[in-house]
Amino acid sequence: MGGRRTGAAGNDYSFVSPVVKYLLFMFNFLFWIISLVMVSIGVYARMMKHAEAAWACLSVDPAIMLMVVGVLMFLLTFCGCVGSLRENICLLQTFCICLTVIFMVQVAAGVLGFIFADKARNKVTEVINNAIVHYRDDIDLQNLIDFGQKEFGCCGGIAYTDWSQNMYFNCSQDNPSRERCSVPYSCCIISQNKEVINTMCGQGMQELEYTEAAKHIHTNGCIDNMVDWIHSNLFLLGGIALGLAIPQLVGILLSQILINQIKDQIELQKYQYKHQTDPWP
């Protein structure tokens, strides 16, 4: 079933396919709901934090990242929803262009990250070091770092001594913190045989030599472990990337088809008005 019909007089006229129109609407409505949930979770998480820490580490705050992504997705899917229902070319083109730009940025980021792997590594190191500095300032960030260190079996960015960048774990002699020269519990090597878990197992580990500390904690940094994990899970990451790309390509395709159908209908209406013809004699 195409986008054109033939009248009794043999004149062709275009129409907007309701299948494409409402499929695009449902596609955007689904992601519009997801964006609202993301923004709500981000706002709730942000409001639950202490006021003094509210602006401490915005660059690494997961709640802020969730809110920003959610707001951008909300605006984009709003254009898609309203544009498809109202058959508004301006909103549909905005949706299509933005989605195309996002897709191209993702592809470019992947290519540049592969080509400039060393610079990308340095940037990741900078972000992780910043997160270490603000470890105690943000409970969400703290949970995220602990989860990463447990999952990857690592400690710090390059090595476990990176935790000296945090004011609580700093090894300076004048540091009054009880956690001086320690590392977080998530760095510890936990034995499954122990009935009682020592949550203070990271105490004073930065003062030990590498080989001695390795008996109690993970001494390798998370960056090297993450790189190794990426190399061993390329097919999984490729599948995730493809899963993220397919909805974007579907949205671009549906919006472009609908735009073309609307334009054809407008052109036909202009033609009929100009020639004052009636397709039904």
Q: Which domain holds residue 47?
A: 13-135+248-275
Contact 182, 203 (CB under 8 A): yes
Residue 159 lies in a domain: no
Residue 111 lies in a domain: yes
Calculate mean pLDDT across residues 255-261.
Answer: 91
Q: Is 273 helix (H, G, I), strand (E, B) or coil?
A: helix
Q: Choose the weakest-confidence range: 36-45, 47-56, 233-242.
A: 47-56
Orientation of helix 117-133 relative to helix 139-152, angle to 10°: 130
Per-residue confidence at 26, pLDDT binned at 50, 70, 90?
very high
Residue 48 lies in a domain: yes
Residue 67 lies in a domain: yes
pLDDT of 61 over the 80 cut: no
pLDDT tens-digit profile of 122-157?
888 888 998 899 898 878 788 889 999 999 999 999
How far is residue 281 from each of residues 164, 171, 259, measured CA to CA in Å? Answer: 87, 92, 30
Cα(251)–Cα(80) distance, integer angstroms = 9
Q: Mean pLDDT over all residues of the chain?
A: 82
CA-derived radius of gyration, the chain = 28
Residue 73 lies in a domain: yes
Backbone region of residue 87 per phi and psi (left: phi > 0; alpha: psi in -120 to 50; beta: other values): left
Number of domains the chain is built from: 1
Q: What is the pLDDT of residue 49?
A: 62
Cα(196)–Cα(180) distance, integer angstroms = 24
Residue 193 lies in a domain: no
Residue 82 lies in a domain: yes
pLDDT tens-digit profile of 63-117?
778 888 889 999 999 999 999 988 899 999 999 999 999 999 888 887 887 787 7
Contact 213, 205 (CB under 8 A): yes
Q: What is the pLDDT of residue 10?
A: 38
Residue 254 lies in a domain: yes
pLDDT tens-digit profile of 186-213?
999 887 666 556 778 888 999 988 889 9
